[in-house]
Amino acid sequence: MSTVTAPTPASCLTAPGAAGGSPAPAIALPDQTAAAPAVEVAPAPSGYAAGEEASPGIAVSFDNAAIAYGRTTVLRGVHGALPAGGTLALIGPNGAGKSSLIKAVLGLVPVAVGSITVLDRAPAAARRDVAYVPQADALDRDFPISVGQVVLMGRYRRIGWCRRPGRADRAAALAALEAVGLAERARDRFGTLSGGQRQRVLLARAIAAEPRLLLLDEPFNGVDVVSQDALLAALATVAESGTATVVSTHDLALAQVISDQVCVLNGRQIAFGPAAHALAPEPLRAAYGGAAVEIGGQSVILTRP
């Protein structure tokens, strides 16, 4: 029987011969025979943590936030709010501060001035309810792991690193792969997929975590049209579930399509609001100067008056 083996973290292993030092068990996908755990906990409603109720409010708020590395300020003056269930696009040239802002929302870098609040908590305290999708190229393609195993990793924050994924976890992982159109590749090695497919798998891993806030760093970079459409469809489903989304992108046309609000950055906040306001010529000139940008699939040269 073909199976998917869940990786066992080093912290959960014991020395040879010690109690509990057996190899990690093989975990079958939902369509295969597998023993169910003694107690099954139904998955939480999509977009919310187990035991929590969906509540309206603000997913992320920025209060004049500034981010610095040592004495170097890389971003300042970020002010605005993303409602629960909304989508915020971060745009700006390379080095504008988009990735730094995402790291600050994750609680990985401190806020030097002002504040950032995530799900009514400090960023670091909200991590259990936040999922992050990095760029696929940042991962090692040679690491020997299957697509299904990658997606199952999204469940560990819910079940704990030393617990075996149960039937509900396998079902959530398969549903997430179906959401990105890759359920049939569950047993394939992750490194054999194309860049766009790997990006879809990483989004599936985040969806399987059932977050209340989803962060994506340049998810459309270098992906083919099929994968781009699959990512857009999956993000639409995520939004319908009530999960808030923050996505950084260089594609202004996609920013218009996917977002309720747009934040324009270039070392500082230039605009924050609906796309019609934030993507107007003046904010774009302030962000890009005379650079060429893409709007609606066409290159547009923005020049200062």
In a domain? residue 14: no
Residue 264 maps to which CATH number? 3.40.50.300
In a domain? residue 120: yes
Q: Burial level of 296, CB count in 10 A (0-12/13-18/19+)?
A: exposed
Q: Within its chain, how far is the Cα of 113 from the centroid? A: 25
Q: How many domains does the chain have?
A: 1
What's the DSSP call for residue 43?
Answer: P
In a domain? residue 44: no
User: Range of 67's domain?
Assistant: 56-142+211-301
In a domain? residue 13: no
Per-residue pLDDT at 303 exceeds 80: no
The mean predicted confidence, pLDDT, of the chain is 81
Residues sharing a CB contact under 8 Å with residue 78, sequence separation 6 or more, in sequence order:
62, 64, 65, 66, 101, 114, 116, 263, 265, 269, 272
In a domain? residue 252: yes
**Given this model, what pLDDT does residue 245 score?**
97
In a domain? residue 203: no
For residue 87, how many C-alpha atoms fall within 13 Å in the half-sphere facing its CB? 22
In a domain? residue 219: yes
What the block records as the tokens of 216 is 């994506």
Q: What is the pLDDT of residues 200-233, one digit of tens each?
A: 999 999 999 999 999 999 999 888 999 999 999 9
Residues sharing a CB contact under 8 Å with residue 143, sequence separation 6 or more, in sequence order:
190, 191
Q: Which pTM does this prediction carry?
A: 0.77
Q: What is the pLDDT of residues 266-278, one digit of tens each?
A: 999 999 999 989 9
In a domain? residue 40: no
Confidence of residue 160 (pLDDT cuts 50, 70, 90): confident
**Given this model, what pLDDT does residue 23 score?**
38
Per-residue pLDDT at 295 exceeds 70: no
**Given this model, what pLDDT does residue 158 score?**
78
